[in-house]
């Protein structure tokens, strides 16, 4: 039988353990040196002999004190150091939580990303927070958003239901980018009773004019069941790996598919999806078991 002293000792140790875990999840893991997560694969439709390295940054969520312009600039330098052929960004540049000590405006985070350099260029898409944080775009139900204009002002192309053809060593491939699937918030005055996406998968892929392989950028991974086998690889963010991930499971995932597309490399019916754990966070400034990460993807 446990004594009163024993119970108090147990309670004290438990409280300190929980407090330590909380301090680590809020104050330490979000600030750890960025992890480089590496993937190597040869997906369907990928030409023999085409070696391509893609660096991926997702869900930056700029804010003080965790994701300052200085830290964003250092992330750009880390991505460059991987010596990728092309760099892609998967959306959600502004803060995703109000629990911050200060806001980082687009006029600050975009210049911090301007240092990104790759031989075949830097391409980006937008995420839900890039739309949700823009009241004028929400009111109009259309862009261009502040985030898009900020990225383009520093020379970073933004793909919204568009595709571009690139070439390496005489072999072509396409990068297609979807507009956001949750872009417009519910607005009764506008007749919207639920989130409205602006994505057009069929229209985007229709812009691909030859049989070269396609890499699809889609902020939310929930589009993946609709992606045809013609697409060699889909890259997504949004979930942050659940922000808390233990033993390969995330208790909370912002996806209607739960853990199915929460994180990592998913193969279904010979179709390939890679979901980034991202760099920042939303709702709460917590990461546990899911360090900030940049992806290095070697294809071929």
Architecture per CATH, 34-299: 4-Layer Sandwich (3.60)
- Distance CA(266)–CA(114), nearest Å, equals 31
Q: How confident is the model at residue 33 (pLDDT cuts 50, 70, 90)?
A: low
- Distance CA(289)–CA(171), nearest Å, equals 39
**Confidence at residue 188, expressed as pLDDT on a 0 to 100 scale:** 87
Separation in Å, CA 268 to CA 90, 272, 295: 21, 7, 21
**Confidence at residue 25, expressed as pLDDT on a 0 to 100 scale:** 41
- Distance CA(90)–CA(297), nearest Å, equals 14
- Distance CA(53)–CA(50), nearest Å, equals 10
- Distance CA(132)–CA(204), nearest Å, equals 23
Contact 280, 59 (CB under 8 A): yes
Is the pLDDT at 16 greater than 60? The verdict is: no
Longest dimension (CA), the chain: 77
Reported as a single tens digit per residue, the pLDDT across 62-94 is: 999 999 999 999 999 999 999 999 999 999 999
Is the pLDDT at 2 greater than 60? The verdict is: no
**Confidence at residue 26, expressed as pLDDT on a 0 to 100 scale:** 45
Is the pLDDT at 203 greater than 60? The verdict is: yes
Residue from 87, 48, 45 nearest 300 by CA: 48
Is the pLDDT at 24 greater than 80? The verdict is: no
Average pLDDT over the chain reads 91
Q: Give the burial class of 222: count Cβ atoms within 10 A of its Cβ; 0-12 exposed, 13-18 middle, 19 or more buried.
A: buried
Domain-by-domain residue ranges, the chain? 1-31, 34-299
- Distance CA(197)–CA(185), nearest Å, equals 9
**Residue 53: its H or E element:** strand 52-57
Mean pLDDT of 32-61: 93
More confident of the two residues 22 and 213: 213
Reported as a single tens digit per residue, the pLDDT across 162-183 is: 999 999 999 999 999 999 999 9
**Confidence at residue 103, expressed as pLDDT on a 0 to 100 scale:** 96
Separation in Å, CA 47 to CA 42, 50, 214, 266, 299: 9, 6, 11, 21, 10
- Distance CA(199)–CA(284), nearest Å, equals 27
Residue from 281, 288, 290 nearest 95 by CA: 281
Reported as a single tens digit per residue, the pLDDT across 206-257 is: 999 999 999 999 999 999 999 999 999 999 999 999 999 999 999 999 999 9
Is the pLDDT at 280 greater than 90? The verdict is: yes
Task: State the SS3 of 234-247.
Answer: EEECCCHHHCECEC
Contacts with 154 (C-beta within 8 Å, 6 or more apart), sequence order: 110, 111, 113, 114
Reported as a single tens digit per residue, the pLDDT across 252-274 is: 999 999 999 999 999 999 999 99
Q: How confident is the model at residue 8 (pLDDT cuts 50, 70, 90)?
A: very low
Mean pLDDT of 265-289: 96
**Confidence at residue 34, expressed as pLDDT on a 0 to 100 scale:** 75
- Residue 183 φ/ψ, nearest 5 degrees: -60, -45
Contact 214, 230 (CB under 8 A): yes
**Confidence at residue 210, expressed as pLDDT on a 0 to 100 scale:** 97
Reported pTM: 0.90
- Distance CA(81)–CA(33), nearest Å, equals 14
Task: State the SS3 of 151-183.
Answer: HHHCCCEECCCEEEEEEECCEEEEEEECCCCCC
Contacts with 27 (C-beta within 8 Å, 6 or more apart), sequence order: none
Contact 279, 34 (CB under 8 A): yes
């Amino acid at each position: 039988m446990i004594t009163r002293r024993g119970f108090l000792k147990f309670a004290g140790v438990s409280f300190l353990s929980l407090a330590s875990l909380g301090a680590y999840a809020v104050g330490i893991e979000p600030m750890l040196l960025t992890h480089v997560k590496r993937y190597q694969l040869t997906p369907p439709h990928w030409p023999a002999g085409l070696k391509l390295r893609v660096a991926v940054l997702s869900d930056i969520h700029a804010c003080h004190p965790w994701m300052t312009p200085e830290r964003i600039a250092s992330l750009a330098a880390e991505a460059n150091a991987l010596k990728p052929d092309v760099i892609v960004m998967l959306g959600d540049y502004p803060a995703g939580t109000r629990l911050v000590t200060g806001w980082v405006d687009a006029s600050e985070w975009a210049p911090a990303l301007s240092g990104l350099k790759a031989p075949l260029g830097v391409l980006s898409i937008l995420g839900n927070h890039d739309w949700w944080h823009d009241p004028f775009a929400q009111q109009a139900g259309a862009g261009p958003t502040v985030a898009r204009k900020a990225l383009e002002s520093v020379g970073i192309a933004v793909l919204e239901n568009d595709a571009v053809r690139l070439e390496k060593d005489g072999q072509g491939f396409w990068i297609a980018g979807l507009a956001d699937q949750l872009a417009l918030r519910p607005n009764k005055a506008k007749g919207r009773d639920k989130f409205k996406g602006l994505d057009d998968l069929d229209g985007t892929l229709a812009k691909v004019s030859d049989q070269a392989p396609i890499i699809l950028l889609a902020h939310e991974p929930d589009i993946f069941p609709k992606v045809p086998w013609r697409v060699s690889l889909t890259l997504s963010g949004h979930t942050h790996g659940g922000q808390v991930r233990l033993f390969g499971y995330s208790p909370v995932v912002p996806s209607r598919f739960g853990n199915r597309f929460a994180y990592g490399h998913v193969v279904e019916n010979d179709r390939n999806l890679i979901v980034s754990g991202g760099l920042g966070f939303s709702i709460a400034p917590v990461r546990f078991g899911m360090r900030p990460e940049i992806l290095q993807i070697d294809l071929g």
